[in-house]
Structure 1
Amino acid sequence: MSIQIDARLSYDFAETSDILLQVEAAMIPEQVVRDARIDISPVEHFARVSGHDMIGDRIWLRLRGRLTVDYRATVTPQRIVADLAGLAATPFHMLPGEAVQYLMASRYCQSDLFEEFVTAEFEHLCGGERIAAIRDWIERNFSYEAGTSASFTTAMESFVQRKGVCRDYSHVMITLARAAGVPARIASVYALGVDPQDFHAVAEVFLDGAWHLVDPTGMARAEDMAKIGVGRDAADVAFLTSYGNAVFCEQRVRVSAVSEA
């Protein structure tokens, strides 16, 4: 099964501003991107740069006035999906360089503050079993409520409030996984099953020598996601970062299933 993506962004910029855009599905081995098209209103400058960990592209824009971005694509996921509980933890000394940084605390994911909690709550488990239990604990104990968090909300604040949106769920999942000694990063995705439909954030954990997508909200499955980009936390995967005052006009994301003949 493939995923049809249709996304639109529209913002106004009163002054000339630099914008970093990341909305295109990444062209990587775990997914095939077809019929991709991005239409951007006239700008002063357009340049592609690599995304974090060389996954996907970011686009530098410089403009003044109205920015409108329309993106469409069909993506066929081809990633290997495994039962998390059956995966072994990769020993620290066997971790590849790309995974090491994701053991560390980051701006929104203060994993060093949660080591005692993880030990007390999940000490009887290890590896993928522990990660699956953390995922289930978050889904069971948190409520999905829009408007209860902001762009500066940390995993600690979300953990205390026990509510938030996909960004907050993912930050808590990443934080607890790192506290458990498992490398974890955030992934921005388009996904089937997300309600309300929007850009979606999930976690990705390094187990048994490979990365595995995990959605602690329980809304989406790894096989139904089109990955956009990855990073340490939400600061690395924002769909639009503005270096100037932006006025929101419109945002729409539609993700639908396409049956293959």
Structure 2
Amino acid sequence: MKLAITAALDYRLGDPVDLMLHIEAAAIPEQAILDAVLDVGDSEYFARVSAQDMIGERIWLRRGGELNVRYSATVEIDRILTDYRTLGKVPMHQLPAETVQYLNESRYCPSNKFLHFVHDEFGDVEGGAKIGRMRDWIETHFTYAAGSSDSETNALDSFVERRGVCRDYAHVMVSLARAAAIPARVVSVYALGVEPQDFHAVAEIFLGGEWHLVDATGMAREAAMAKIAVGRDAADISFLTAYGDIEMLNQQVTVEAVE
């Protein structure tokens, strides 16, 4: 599948501000970047640095005044698709080293708080079947509500409120998986089917020796997602992090299927 992606970000900055930008689809084996254009305007400083797990790149910027970012790309998805619900859990002592960090609690995913709930609610199934039950439980019990969370909301807050946006769904999904001793991370993606269209966050679960994208909102399919970044939680995958005063003026994302 080929996806045509555009993103437009317009911000007003105060004095020169250091910014970390992370909006480009990652060039990785499961997706090919057929063409891409990024325009960030004139900046005092511009540098690319590797992102988490060497998936994608972050961009350091320093500038003041207005920031106008324009990104467009055509991405061909060539992901091996397997029904994760049929896969087994990899025994902990056999996990690859790079997956171990994704067993642990993180800022927005206090997974140890969910141990008893996971045992009581999903203890009768294992592996991918357990992950599938967790995903279905979240989609059934949560309400997608724009503006219902903020930068301080973590998975436990969302679990109590039973509502949130995509990052909240992903945080809960990741927390439940980690509570079951299954490595899980949060992924930012461009995806078909997301309403309203925006940068989207999903979970990625390590099953059967592979990572599998899981969208607890039910809006996006694994075959129609282009990965941008991966991380322990939303703090690692933010599309824009500003180390100073900043005001959003406009933000638009479009994702379309193309021949």
Task: Normalising by structure 1, report the TM-score.
Answer: 0.98
Residue 124 in structure 1 maps to residue 124 in structure 2 = yes
Residue in structure 2 matched with residue 181 of structure 1 by the alignment = 181
Runs of 4+ in 1 over 3 A off after TM superposition: none
Trace 1:53-68 onto structure 2 (pairs within 5 A): 53-68=53-68
Tell me which residue corresponds to 2:74. Answer: 74
Query: How far off is 1:247 after superposition?
Result: 1.0
Aligned position for 2:4: 4
After TM superposition, give the deviation of residue 15 of structure 1 in Å. 0.6
Distance between the aligned counterparts of 2:158 and 2:198, measured in 1? 20
1:27 positional shift: 0.2
Shift of 1:22: 0.1
Q: Secondary structure in 2 aligned to 1:201?
A: strand
Secondary structure of 1:75's aligned partner:
strand
Q: CA deviation at 1:35?
A: 1.2
What whole-Å deviation, never above 9, does each CA across 1:132-160 have from its counterpart, x for those lacking one? Answer: 00000000100100011001100000000
Q: Which SS does the other structure have where 1:124 is aligned?
A: coil
Secondary structure in structure 2 of the residue aligned to 1:252: strand
Provide the residue aligned with 1:115 in structure 2: 115
Q: How far 1:41 sits from its partner (Å)? A: 1.3
Show the counterpart of 1:46: 46
Indicate the residue corresponding to 2:15 in structure 1: 15
Percent pairwise identity: 58
2: CA distance, partners of 1:47 / 1:70: 17
CA distance in 1, matches of 2:14, 2:172: 36
Q: Identify the residue that residue 85 of structure 1 maps to in structure 2.
A: 85
Q: 2:247 matched to which residue of 1?
A: 247
**Residue 207 of structure 2 corresponds to which residue in structure 1?**
207
CA shift at 1:82, angstroms?
Answer: 1.1
Distance (Å, rounded) in 2 between the aligned partners of 1:186 and 1:78: 20
Give the corresponding residue for 1:138.
138
TM-score by length of 2: 0.99
Aligned equivalents of 1:76, 1:189: Cα separation in 2: 14
Instruction: Give the deviation of 1:104 after TM superposition.
Output: 0.2
TM-align CA RMSD: 0.5
What runs of 5+ residues in structure 1 fail to find an aligned partner? none
Deviations 1:78-106 (A, max 9, x none): 11111121001000011011100000000
SS of the residue 1:100 aligns to: helix
Letter of the structure 1 residue corresponding to residue 128 of structure 2: G
The corresponding residue for 1:100 is 100
User: What SS does the aligned partner of 1:136 have?
Assistant: helix
Count of residue correspondences: 259
1:33-65 deviation digits (Å, cap 9, x = unpaired) = 111110111100000000111100000000011
